[in-house]
Structure 1
Amino acid sequence: MEHQAEPGKRMLRQGFLAVRSALTADDVREAAAALAERALELPELAHARTVAAYVSVGSEPGTLALLEALRVRGVRVLLPVLLPDNDLDWGTYAGPESLVSVRHGGRMALLEPAGERLGPEAVREADAVLLPGLAVDARGMRLGRGGGSYDRVLSRLERAGAEPVLVVLLYDAEVVERVPEEAHDRPVHAVVTPSGVRRFHRRP
């Protein structure tokens, strides 16, 4: 049986994805450059030792400029590797040439790190975790893509007592008044958009 929030979430996802699909390559590129600049204004990212991030695909808010900026600063960047059960393993980002295109079933190809697999628990070493999403609301509640991979990541961090700063990267129009939530949903600490950073919760 579906959770009550799911039908509302599904409709919202479709709306946000439709707006993203109308963006041009130039729109995405310009936003990615601004996102990298804004994200590094967050001290928790700029001064992190290890950041768990992800490689954007299609018209998602671009992350590659930010990944490279973090790596050049000496930050250890972990990137996800999708497992068959939708959980995430992790590998280390070593520059654009360290990424390989992997197609999982009929889905869009993902860029994943080549090289050693560090295991799903590696995310516990992160000082900051960048989460993909489609929207965030005034309380910091995130609307994800619905695959559940990052719900598992957040549960793993919670079980381990790890408290990294949680940051979602979005376009300006994706910061909204309210998104539906379920009992397992956790708020993020900050959202970065091309026009700036907004904080929601201080870290404990």
Structure 2
Amino acid sequence: MQARTKAEWRELVLSGRRALTPELRASEDQALVGLVTVGVADGSTVCAYVPTALEPGSLEFLDALRRVAGRVLVPITRGPGPLHWSEFTGADDLADASYGLREPTGPAWDPDEIRSAGTIFVPALAVDRRGVRLGRGAGFYDRTLGLAAPDARLITVVRDEELVSELPEDPHDIRMGWALTPGSGLIPLGEE
């Protein structure tokens, strides 16, 4: 049997996410709120993301991080290069942006601001046990994560069913060290 392509994986995962009931999504998002601060150092800088309607997490997820971390940075898209960053200060300071995203309206920092983060939460459609992450295909995170500090914890946030045995990998893909799922919490990755 031939392995699925990245495009086939994307279609499969997005179809599954679209089929989620609002109750299950809310339950999973609430579970993530209770798990997201595990291992985040008090007063530290954390990079995260503002979840879209089809991504695990919620604004409460970001608020939980704000209660522990000194700064929570979220991405701002500025063309095809690496992501820029802005501080998440609450839902009231978000505005609609490109690609159906919501972004902070405050000051923006250059892409290398990611180096200040000890923990980086990365959205994904799926991740495998080796740490290979499947994104949406635009490459923003692949171009950005290479700027992170070498000792930063790269944590991808997925549903439990989206942690799979093996995904296709390209040379430019940056592997994750951890997966955060609603049912299993923080799971170390890197098994070959």
TM-score by length of 1: 0.85
User: Does the CA contact (< 8 Å) of 1:91 and 1:118 recur in 2?
Assistant: yes
User: Does the CA contact (< 8 Å) of 1:133 and 1:143 recur in 2?
Assistant: yes
- Map of 2:161 onto structure 1: 173
- Map of 2:147 onto structure 1: 156
Instruction: Give the ranges of 4+ consecutive aligned residues of structure 1 lying more than 6 Å apart after TM superposition.
Output: none
- Map of 2:90 onto structure 1: 95
2-structure distance, mates of 1:133, 1:113: 21
SS of the equivalent of 2:84 reads strand
- Map of 2:186 onto structure 1: 197
User: Does the CA contact (< 8 Å) of 1:35 and 1:62 recur in 2?
Assistant: yes
- Map of 1:79 onto structure 2: 74
- Map of 2:8 onto structure 1: 11
Deviations 1:27-52 (A, max 9, x none): 222111101212223x1x25460001
- Map of 2:174 onto structure 1: 186
- Map of 1:34 onto structure 2: 31
Give the unaligned 5+ runs of structure 2: none
2-structure distance, mates of 1:48, 1:14: 39
- Map of 1:117 onto structure 2: 108
Letter in 2 for 1:147: A
- Map of 1:127 onto structure 2: 118
Letter in 2 for 1:149: F
Q: Sequence identity of aligned pairs in percent?
A: 36
SS of the equivalent of 1:130 reads strand
SS of the equivalent of 1:146 reads coil
More divergent stretch after superposition (15-24 vs 58-67): 58-67
Q: Does 1:50 align with 2:38?
A: no
Task: Give the number of aligned pairs.
Answer: 187
2-structure distance, mates of 1:184, 1:48: 32
> Alpha carbons of 1:48 and 1:190: their partners in 2 closer, same or farther (altered >3 Å)?
farther
CA-based RMSD = 1.8
User: Does the CA contact (< 8 Å) of 2:44 and 2:71 recur in 1?
Assistant: yes
State the Cα distance separating 1:98 from its structure 2 match. Answer: 1.6
User: Does the CA contact (< 8 Å) of 2:128 and 2:166 recur in 1?
Assistant: yes
SS of the equivalent of 1:131 reads strand
State the Cα distance separating 1:155 from its structure 2 match. Answer: 2.0
Give the unaligned 5+ runs of structure 1: none
State the Cα distance separating 1:89 from its structure 2 match. Answer: 1.0
TM-score by length of 2: 0.90
State the Cα distance separating 1:76 from its structure 2 match. Answer: 0.6
User: Does the CA contact (< 8 Å) of 2:84 and 2:110 recur in 1?
Assistant: yes
1-structure distance, mates of 2:146, 2:174: 9
Deviations 1:135-193 (A, max 9, x none): 11111211111110000112222xxx542100000101001110010112222111011
User: Does the CA contact (< 8 Å) of 2:118 and 2:152 recur in 1?
Assistant: yes
Letter in 2 for 1:199: P
